[in-house]
Structure 1
Amino acid sequence: MKQLFSIFFIALFAIANAQDKDSKETANRFFYELTFKPKNDSAKLEKVMSVLDIVKDRSVYRDYTVIGQDSIIKVQIEAMQKSGVFKDMSKSIRMPKFSEKIVKIYPDMKVQYIERIASGFSPMGIAYNETIKFDWKISNEKEKIGAYNAQKATAEFGGRKWTAWFSTELPFQDGPYKFSGLPGLIVKIEDDGKNYSWVLQGNKKVPNWEELSYAEKISNMSLKVTEMPREKFEKTFNDFKKDPFASVRPMMNQEMMSKSIPGMDGTIGDMMKKQEKMYKDFFNSNDNPIELNQPSSDKKKK
């Protein structure tokens, strides 16, 4: 049963982020509403909340969806543990819109871009590292963005032209996604085609901050990642997107696939098919990446 749980937690949370050792620091958490255009051939826009957590030696940027549902997930998992009956959690929780975690290491702002893939019955982290030197052009133009006095700056990155507004009232040379390097926190940034736009919505202190969520803890994830050149990273992740259960399937014989799951309709095989469809729908939902010049023939992004 433990292996079975592992399969489905990989399917539900392989897009999440992890660490080996919990941090007992206080984090400055900044909430950014991201408005984005997932499809090139559509004018439809979607919105998602993302967070930038800043601690002493680094920042962590990610989709807030899984973190925000931690208490709901905890209640459901504890109920399953108590009853011994598995429940299909995909019916009651929302999936994130984006799967990457981006860590910036201070003070040199080295960027580590992390994704999770399945490796047998366990999640595996893969990552590439880069140091980005943004060539910001700071303007004298100023504007009030939310509660903060902000100043305009522009730069080119990832094949797009970006306009950022930063505030020295927030003394962090950081921002959402990979953006950084201005004399204050970026409170708004968008590309000239308005494909991606982040706007700061609020912030708070998070005492006893832990990078690892409850869902990630029970999924036995690790902060350890396999670092590789970006081209190899793109190929490895694209292979996973094409066949998410490639490493699990050889470990599942026909007898195991035909077993029913207590408390659920269908067999383990049925659930794997459902989870595989969920993965592929997720990965195919966005063909308009933030960075247009990724070193990969497959430009689809989560």
Structure 2
Amino acid sequence: MTMIGKIVLLFVLLFSAHPFLSAQDSNSPYMVLDTARYVVRYGFKYMADTVNRKMMEGETVLEIGKHVSRHCFRGHDESELSYLERSSWDAEPKFRFPSYDPAIDNVYIGYPKKNRMTAAMNLGCVGGFLYEEDVPKQDWTLSDQTKVVGGHECRMASCDFGGRRYEAWYAADIPMSLGPWKLGGLPGLILEASDSSGEFVFTLNAIESASDSVVPITMLKRKYRKMSRKKCFSYRARMYREPATFYSALGVLPNGMRIVTPKGGYPYNPIEKED
């Protein structure tokens, strides 16, 4: 059997397996939605500050389950959980804002049901926000242009989405129509993607099989405020641009805590532009 044939067979076997049905751990801070069969790691470069043209680097993770997939910024849940579990605010009377956060949501495809998507934003002491909508569809233009990414021959495709123009490279020998963030719908897994301005760039770091271990796809247990995407974006934009006013208006800070913010707010360059 050829290498491509083996990869296709492995995907078929993994995705025909029984879904993750173990009981939820009531003591866990996470809710289990599915179990990952594959984990795709992307190097992520993003321009948080468009004035100073400051590029930041990190890693995002795409967890692919039978029913649900999740894309998130690596380590986000752990840092958020640490924040929520603080026993006291007394040791830190000043609230400092994550000034170079990439403003990218945790995206769950297939949750709460097939063909639906949930995007969650965990905004520290403000709380959790989420919106639910149909899985977004991109109108891709396919190209005959090819290149090799991570040992896979990929083809190029382009589309306009979320106020940006994207170029993506997908591997037809990996038959999954997923990719980083909300990008997907191509006849193969997206291994690289970038917007035309070069402000958001995803490059493949690794594709890992989770067939020999249980890798749960989780969502942090917390009270989320469910609202429209437009309203979620409006809240987040205000938090960056007018943090002191925003936090004070919501009344979420403990008594005596003051907010340390620069004049004029923080750089705000979300991957998905506001409508």
Same fold flag (TM > 0.5): yes
Displacement, 1:226? Answer: 3.9
Q: Do the aligned partners of 2:34 and 2:67 also contact (CA within 8 Å) in 1?
A: no
Q: Provide the rounded CA distance (Å) in 1 between the counterparts of 2:29 and 2:65.
A: 15
Match of residue 234 from structure 1: 233
Match of 1:32 among 18, 24, 42: 42
Report the AA paired with residue 47 of structure 2: K
Match of 1:113 among 92, 115, 119: 119
Other structure's SS at 1:200 match: strand
Report the AA paired with residue 133 of structure 1: K
Q: Provide the rounded CA distance (Å) in 1 between the counterparts of 2:265 and 2:217.
A: 28
Consecutive unaligned residues of structure 1, counting only runs of 5 or more, are 1-17, 258-268, 296-302
Task: Say whether residues 1:54 and 2:53 are aligned partners.
Answer: no
Counterparts of 1:1-302 in structure 2, within 5 Å, are 21-23=31-33, 25-66=35-76, 97-98=102-103, 100-105=105-110, 109-117=115-123, 123-206=127-210, 207-212=213-218, 216=220, 221-222=221-222, 225-241=224-240, 242=243, 243-244=246-247, 246-249=249-252, 252=254, 257=255, 269=256, 272-273=257-258, 276-277=259-260, 285-292=266-273, 294-295=274-275
Q: Deviations over 1:196-241 (max 9, x none)?
A: 111111022343223448xx5xxxx33x644322233233444555
Q: Do the aligned partners of 1:117 and 1:240 also contact (CA within 8 Å) in 2?
A: no
Other structure's SS at 2:187 match: coil
Q: Do the aligned partners of 1:66 and 1:96 also contact (CA within 8 Å) in 2?
A: no
Q: Given the superposition, is the C-alpha separation of residues 53 and 245 from structure 1 closer, same or farther in structure 2, using an over 3 Å criterion?
A: farther
Q: Given the superposition, is the C-alpha separation of residues 97 and 230 from structure 1 closer, same or farther in structure 2, using an over 3 Å criterion?
A: closer
Q: How many residues align?
A: 236
Other structure's SS at 1:41 match: coil
Other structure's SS at 2:38 match: strand
Q: Percent identity?
A: 19
Q: Do the aligned partners of 1:128 and 1:233 also contact (CA within 8 Å) in 2?
A: no
Higher strand fraction (1 or 2)? 2
Q: Do the aligned partners of 1:196 and 1:290 also contact (CA within 8 Å) in 2?
A: yes
What's the TM-score, normalizing by structure 1? 0.63
Q: Do the aligned partners of 2:177 and 2:185 also contact (CA within 8 Å) in 1?
A: yes
Q: Do the aligned partners of 2:160 and 2:166 also contact (CA within 8 Å) in 1?
A: yes
Q: Provide the rounded CA distance (Å) in 1 between the counterparts of 2:239 and 2:49.
A: 21
Q: Given the superposition, is the C-alpha separation of residues 103 and 245 from structure 1 closer, same or farther in structure 2, using an over 3 Å criterion?
A: farther
Q: Given the superposition, is the C-alpha separation of residues 122 and 115 from structure 1 closer, same or farther in structure 2, using an over 3 Å criterion?
A: closer
Q: Provide the rounded CA distance (Å) in 1 between the counterparts of 2:198 and 2:104.
A: 21
Report the AA paired with residue 40 of structure 1: T
Consecutive unaligned residues of structure 2, counting only runs of 5 or more, are 1-27
